[in-house]
């Protein structure tokens, strides 16, 4: 019953000839919540981008839902929340509009949204605790609420696999709790999660397995490291801030 959702075998990725991932083998099976940990610059984001085909692998293989990546087309089965959204400034989109855009892969661009689309958007807004902000411009939300909006956008597509790059970095405590709850519900409904994290915080009880990337290889794959000490985790490097300041909003200037 544990079918592989993601399989990476001996994956190698480099930028401009400089190797970042040297030999990565990883299998994520249905229902798992796998956290990728590691020092700054160790290649965590590169690993999930390689899994999604956003950066090419120069050796090895990636398989998604039993299909080689190069032949995989069922992208609606995957929801992806990148590390930072960058642009978007000045677009007066409401929370609901942003979340509804997560339905596009499901319904096709030319078909108007139907009841299933609306109810999926409502469910996603509720899951992250933003139903009461649905009509507000995203630019008026806190950074944590904007991050929750992006997570709701991914959930609205009703994916089977969620891939998230540092979903709680720089996010306020309430948003972290809301996100942990949404993740728990998602997994309870049969979803699978692969996420990059620096600090697990409220996510810790939801994580079923931790993978630590070190110098382009997997240094640990198994139990979530001891809470006392993410300081004791391999490669913890003290570069990142230890508090969760609200950053400038993703959509504000």
How many amino acids of this chain bind ligand ATP (CB under 6 A)?
A: 10
Toward ligand ATP, which CB reaches closer, 4 or 19? 19
Toward ligand ATP, which CB reaches closer, 50 or 124? 50
Q: Is 217 helix (H, G, I), strand (E, B) or coil?
A: strand
Angle at 142 (CA atoms; ends 136, 146), nearest 5 degrees: 70
| 19 DSSP β-pair partners | 14
Q: Does 168 bind ligand ATP (CB under 6 A)?
A: no
CA dist., res. 129 & res. 152, Å (int): 9
Contact, 165 vs 81, CB < 8 A?
yes
Q: Does 195 bind ligand ATP (CB under 6 A)?
A: no
Q: Which of residues 11, 33, 34, 45 is near ligand ATP by CB under 6 A?
A: 45
Contact mark string toward ligand ATP, 78..117, x via CB under 6 A: ----------------------------------------
* Count of Cβ atoms closer than 10 Å to residue 197 Cβ: 22
CA dist., res. 233 & res. 211, Å (int): 11
Toward ligand ATP, which CB reaches closer, 110 or 239? 239
Of 76, 58, 63, residue with least CA distance to 120 = 76
Q: Cβ of residue 15: shortest distance to ligand ATP, in angstroms?
A: 3
Q: From 39-47, 88-96, 140-148, 224-232, give the range in contact with ligand ATP by CB under 6 A.
A: 39-47
Q: Is 243 helix (H, G, I), strand (E, B) or coil?
A: coil
Q: Does 43 bind ligand ATP (CB under 6 A)?
A: yes
CA dist., res. 191 & res. 200, Å (int): 19
Toward ligand ATP, which CB reaches closer, 15 or 70? 15
Write the DSSP symbol of residue 47: H
* Positive/negative CA dihedral, 95, 34, 175, 118: positive
Q: Cβ of residue 1: shortest distance to ligand ATP, in angstroms?
A: 32
Q: Does 46 bind ligand ATP (CB under 6 A)?
A: yes
Q: Cβ of residue 231: shortest distance to ligand ATP, in angstroms?
A: 16
Q: Does 157 bind ligand ATP (CB under 6 A)?
A: no
Q: Which residues bind ligand ATP (CB under 6 A)?
A: 15, 20, 38, 40-46
């Amino acid at each position: 019953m544990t079918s592989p959702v993601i399989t990476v075998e001996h994956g190698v990725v480099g930028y401009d000839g400089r190797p970042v991932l040297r030999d990565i083998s990883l299998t994520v099976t249905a229902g798992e919540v796998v956290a990728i940990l590691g020092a700054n610059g160790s290649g965590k984001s590169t690993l999930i981008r390689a899994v999604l085909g956003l950066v090419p692998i120069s050796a090895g293989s990636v398989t998604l839902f039993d299909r080689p990546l190069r032949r995989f087309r069922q992208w609606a089965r995957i929801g992806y929340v990148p590390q930072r959204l960058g642009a978007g400034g000045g677009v007066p989109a409401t929370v609901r509009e942003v979340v509804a855009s997560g339905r596009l892969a499901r319904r096709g661009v030319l078909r108007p949204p139907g009841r299933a689309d609306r109810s999926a958007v409502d469910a996603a807004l509720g899951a992250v605790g933003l139903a009461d902000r649905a009509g507000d411009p995203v630019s008026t939300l806190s950074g944590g609420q904007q991050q929750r909006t992006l997570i709701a956008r991914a959930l609205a597509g009703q994916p089977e696999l969620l891939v998230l790059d540092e979903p709680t970095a720089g996010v306020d405590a309430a948003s972290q709790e809301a996100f942990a709850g949404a993740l728990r519900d998602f997994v309870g409904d049969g979803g699978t999660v692969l996420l990059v994290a620096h600090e697990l915080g409220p996510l810790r009880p939801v994580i079923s397995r931790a993978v630590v990337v070190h110098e382009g290889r997997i240094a640990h794959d198994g139990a979530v490291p001891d809470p006392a000490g993410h300081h004791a985790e391999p490669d913890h490097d003290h570069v990142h801030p230890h508090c969760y300041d609200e950053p400038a909003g993703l959509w504000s200037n």
